Amino acid sequence: MLASRAAIIGCGALGSAQAEALARAGVGTLRIIDRDFVETSNLQRQTMFTEHDAKERVPKAIAAANHIGEINSEVRTEPQILDVNHTNIERLIDQCDVVLDGTDNFATRYLINDACIKHQVNWIYGAAVGSYGVSMTIRPARTPCLRCVFEEAPPAASAPTCDTAGVIMPIINLVAAVQVTEALKLLTGQLAQLHNSLMQFDVWRNEWRKINPGSPSPDCATCGLRRFETLEPVTEDFAAILCGRNAVQISPTRPTQVDFGALAERLQGAGDVKFNDYLLRFRAGDYELTIFQDARSIIRGTDEISTARSLYAKYIGN
């Protein structure tokens, strides 16, 4: 266990519960990847974080690493403040014995699936919304992959999300507990104990189900035909996604390193600027831009991708 390395992709509710459990179990190295910072509204379900983290707007990857250092100082942490995308996913799972899904969206899960099937890394899918949760353990070439089971992601805005429907904390802990237990079975080689199913639970309706996912499909684009579409470069200069709660995230497709001191100086006359080692916050009128070291930005105050792109171009540029 001490020689093992696990990657946790997304350190919100599920990811922070996984990180804490794996640290207490004594997994040697935890690579924790998250793009966001702690906010007060997270604390209801993201049990690793504190009011202090929210007040200081500490990036979640750093906050998790700090708390793990207090829980079990023998665990090595590799925090990464990053938006996971096709430019970095293969590097992020490199040298990992298992990858745990702590994300909240299918786009990132297909990226994880493509990279893990390509490089033969075991990964553990998990999701929770409302009082419902689901998990499946994916072992390349031995079990069906995510795309064997869900060929396409559900269309955008078709399903409830944690921002629209909320989520209760106990289902988070249940899904994370199943994921972590599967990870421990994999890391200790106790493969006969794996649950080998699409496991579903609803803690409010008292429903538990194990669905047999069958065998890997020879027609599956990912594990059958080995086409890893999500790992291909995209043609746009910037990827923009709605993050709910009146916010849009803009990411440059070519990662870069931002000099916060220089950027703060440029923005000084245009509004209120503050920065620390990890992020810069800029407020102008009704908008607030949070810029991370890799030039990714979360723009609050709009639901319009075009408005967000133009604010990005206006204040950050490319």
Q: How many CA atoms lie within 13 A of 220 on its CB side?
A: 25
How many residues form the binding site for Zn ion (CB under 5 A)?
6
| Residue placing its CB nearer to Zn ion in the complex, 7 or 149 | 149
Q: How far apart are CA 299 and CA 24, in angstroms?
A: 36
Please calculate the CA angle 282-284-285 and round it to the nearest 5 degrees: 145
Catalytic residue among 11, 148, 162, 223: 162
138 binds Zn ion (CB under 5 A): no
The whole-angstrom separation of Cα 193 and Cα 212 is 15
**Span near Zn ion by CB under 5 A; candidates 6-14, 71-79, 137-145, 196-204:** 137-145
Rounded CA separation 142/213 (Å): 12
Q: Is residue 93 within the footprint of Zn ion (CB under 5 A)? A: no
Yes or no: say if 272 and 289 are a contact pair by the CB < 8 Å rule: no
C-beta closer to Zn ion: residue 154 or 317: 154
145 is a contact residue toward Zn ion (CB under 5 A): yes
Cβ proximity to Zn ion, 31 vs 147, nearer residue: 147
Tell me which residue has its CB nearest to Zn ion.
220
Interface with Zn ion in residues 212-251 (CB under 5 A):
220, 222-223
Distant-in-sequence contacts of 21-26, Cβ < 8 A, 24+ apart: 21/176, 21/177, 21/180, 22/100, 22/180, 22/183, 23/68, 23/71, 23/72, 23/75, 24/71, 24/72, 25/1, 25/180, 25/184, 26/1, 26/2, 26/72, 26/74, 26/75
CB of 147 to Zn ion, least distance (A): 5
The yes or no reply on residue 54 touching Zn ion (CB under 5 A) is no
d(CA 192, CA 196): 9
- Shortest approach of Zn ion to residue 113 CB, angstroms? 8
- In the bound state with Zn ion, the residue whose beta carbon lies nearer, of 217 and 253, is 217
Residue among 64, 138, 148, 171 that touches Zn ion (CB under 5 A): 148
The reply on whether position 115 binds Zn ion by CB under 5 A is no
Residue 127 interacts with Zn ion (CB under 5 A): yes or no: no
CB of 9 to Zn ion, least distance (A): 19
Interacting residues with Zn ion between 249 and 278 (CB under 5 A): none
Which residues, other chains included, contact 278 with Cβ-Cβ below 8 Å and sequence gap of 6+?
A: 37, 58, 59, 62, 81, 292, 293
Q: Is 21 in the site for Zn ion (CB under 5 A)?
A: no
The single-letter DSSP state of residue 64 is H
- In the bound complex, what is the minimum distance in angstroms from residue 118's beta carbon to Zn ion? 12
Which amino acid appears at position 121 of this protein?
Answer: V
Shortest distance, CB of residue 105 to Zn ion, whole angstroms? Answer: 19
User: Is 162 annotated in the active site?
Assistant: yes
**Binding residues for Zn ion, per CB under 5 A?**
145, 147-148, 220, 222-223
Q: Which residues are catalytic?
A: 162
